[in-house]
Amino acid sequence: MEKIVEQLISMPRIGDKAPEFKAITTQGNINFPADYKGKWVILFSHPADFTPVCTSEFITFAARELEFNDLNCQLVGLSIDGLSSHIAWLRTIKEKIEFKGMKNIEVKFPLIEDITMEVAKKYGMIQPGESSTRAVFFIDPKGMVRAIIYYPLSLGRNFDELKRTLIAMQTADTYSIATPADWQPGDDVIVPPADSCGVAKDRMETNEDGITCSDWFFCTKPLPIEKIKMQ
Instruction: Say which amino acid occupies 129.
Output: G
Burial class (CB in 10 A: 0-12, 13-18, 19+), 4: exposed
Q: Which of 54, 73, 213, 219 is catalytic?
A: 54
CA distance 87 to 117: 18
Instruction: Clarify whether 54 is annotated catalytic.
Output: yes
Angle at which helices 83-96 and 52-63 pack, to 10 degrees? 70
Cis-peptide, bond into residue 19, ω within 30° of zero? no
Q: Of 134, 163, 142, 174, which Cα lies nearest the Cα of 63?
A: 163
CA distance 62 to 102: 10
Are residues 46 and 57 in contact, defined by beta-carbon separation less than 8 angstroms?
Answer: yes
Is 164 annotated as contributing to ligand binding? no
Burial class (CB in 10 A: 0-12, 13-18, 19+), 124: buried
| CA 56 centroid distance within chain | 17
State the catalytic residues: 54
Binding residues for substrate: 134
